[in-house]
Amino acid sequence: MESTIDLEDRLVKLDKAIHDIIQSVKHHKVENAEVEIKSLRALVQKIGSHRVDERDTTSIIREMRDKSYDL
């Protein structure tokens, strides 16, 4: 299992990547994609805001599946 520090580092990198995608989407004015990416970014921030246990991870993955993310 990954350490909390490794997980947080990966989440920060993922959050930055999502932010960069949002900027690209804004540039091309693709509004629907922007909404979906912001939703994903909010989930990343939710993960990073506290220590994640298995129940949290399962809940977040279920929520993403409900939003039609390919997981």
C-alpha span between 69 and 61 (Å, rounded): 9
State which amino acid sits at residue 59.
Answer: S
Can you give the pLDDT at residue 51?
57
pLDDT at 70: 47
So what's the pLDDT on residue 1? 54
Q: What pLDDT sits at residue 61?
A: 67
With 0-12 / 13-18 / 19 or more C-beta atoms within 10 angstroms meaning exposed / middle / buried, residue 34 is middle
Under 8 Å between Cβ of 45 and 8: no
Q: Do 8 and 48 contact (CB within 8 A), yes or no?
A: yes
Residue 71 and residue 61 in contact, taking contact as beta carbons nearer than 8 Å:
yes
Predicted confidence at residue 71, as pLDDT, reads: 40
List per-residue pLDDT tens for the chain, 71 residues long. 556 677 777 777 777 777 777 777 777 766 667 776 777 777 777 777 765 566 666 676 677 667 655 44
